[in-house]
Amino acid sequence: MSKGKRAGLVGLLVILWGGAPLGAQAPAGLEKTLQKGLACWKRDEALEAMNWFGRALRKAPRVSTIRRAFQRAAARALEQALERGEKDQARRICRSALARLGDTPYFGTWLGRLLVEEERWDQAREVLERTGRLQGGQYALLELARLHRRRGRLEEGARILEKALPRFPRSLRSGLSAWVRLWRMDAGIRKNKVRSRYLGGEIFLPPSLSHSTRRFLCVLAGRSLSEAAAATGLPSRGRIEVVFSTPEELKRVGGPAWAGGLFKDGVVRVVFRPGQREVLAATLRHEFGHALLSALAPGLPGWLQEGVAQMAEKKDPARALAFLRGLPGTILPGSALETGFIWMRDSRLARAA
């Protein structure tokens, strides 16, 4: 090849992929190899281009321009293999790229992902752990966390992902943080006990319910606490435990038969009845109202506690007034409202109070 053609070929490579020129002392046959690689690249035959650039890279391993050309061709070849659904070919491309380039985040992450899909757990974990230690390897750690999740190790997956969060762009951290919380919730659901950062305590769940129902109850508890705090203006602080129980269990801890919930000794107990989501949400808000007020100022009169709890519940004052007007005479003296209403066994009397 003439010097002019060689200069044109080198210039084209520099324009396409950047890097330093080859220099005058190019190895024998290098120009022809690069020419064939470029011809394949122009025809979008990425795998062939990758092979030719790989040969060129063996002849001149320190030339950054050729390295860049091989990397681009390998990435395009991987993309084409994935589009065609050729997973075996994609895996071979990743291994070839890693052999030529050394550990790189892009090909290491893809190789780990492909191995996970084939359920080659140990190989995938080894590749992803090694890739995750590289600069820019945070997406390999994401795949590693998902590997642990698929294998049922939710706490381990959440721990890995949480540790990697600062390495991700800010725009992704919120969504990934939600994954961490959800995985930890699911891990707790399997044990029928979920640690909630919103409540500062734990949520105890009935083991007889489905996983999706127990997850719904956890989400509802956190949302109801936020709504109760917003409705009353009380700060959400301290430690609150929530127990979803049966009417019989509520009765055993001192709850009246008419009650759907009870706050006692720092624990919110709520009866779960399928198909009554709105009632359940209102009951949770009511009992959280008791919990928030108790954390701020314990020992307040019963009428004040119940008033705040009904504010938290978002009870309609007009409906409450209409109910009272429909009752004959004076139901209770004011002194009866000083203590809590748990002692009332008549549901109509309790509602009037």
pLDDT tens-digit series, residues 278-305? 889 999 999 888 888 888 877 777 777 7
Per-residue pLDDT of the chain (353 residues; tens, 9 = 90+): 344 444 444 455 554 555 445 554 556 678 888 889 989 998 999 999 999 999 999 888 888 888 989 999 999 999 999 999 999 999 999 999 999 999 999 999 999 999 999 999 999 999 999 999 999 999 999 999 999 999 989 999 999 999 999 999 999 999 999 999 889 888 888 888 887 776 778 888 888 888 888 888 888 888 888 888 888 888 876 678 898 888 888 888 777 766 788 888 888 989 888 888 888 999 999 988 888 888 887 777 777 778 888 888 887 665 655 555 555 555 555 554 555 555 444 444 444 44
pLDDT for the residue 235: 84
**Could you report how far apart the first and last alpha carbons of the chain are, in Å?**
100
CA pseudo-torsion sign 281, 286, 292, 294: negative
Q: What are the tokens at 211?
A: 């996983």
CATH-assigned architecture of domain 202-352: 3-Layer(aba) Sandwich (3.40)
The answer to whether the pTM exceeds 0.85 is no
pLDDT for the residue 15: 46
Alpha-carbon gap, residue 124 to 55, rounded angstroms: 28
Residues 6+ apart with CB under 8 A from 201: 195, 239, 240, 241, 242
Residues 6+ apart with CB under 8 A from 208: none
pLDDT for the residue 28: 67
Beta bridge partners of 270: 244, 261
pLDDT for the residue 115: 96
| 3-190: CATH number | 1.25.40.10
Sequence ranges of the chain with CATH classification 3.40.30? 202-352
Sequence ranges of the chain with CATH classification 1.25.40.10? 3-190
Interior angle at CA 95, CA 94 and CA 96, nearest 5: 90
Residues 202, 194 contacting (CB under 8 angstroms): yes
Q: pLDDT per residue over 219-233, tens digit each?
A: 888 888 888 888 888
Q: pLDDT per residue over 153-198, tens digit each?
A: 999 999 999 999 999 999 999 999 999 988 988 888 888 888 777 6
Interior angle at CA 260, CA 255 and CA 266, nearest 5: 60
The Cα-based distances of 284 to 31, 226, 268, 289, 297 in angstroms read: 75, 11, 8, 8, 20
pLDDT for the residue 350: 46
DSSP state of 19: S
Classify residue 129 as exposed, middle or buried by CB count within 10 Å of its CB (0-12, 13-18, 19+): middle
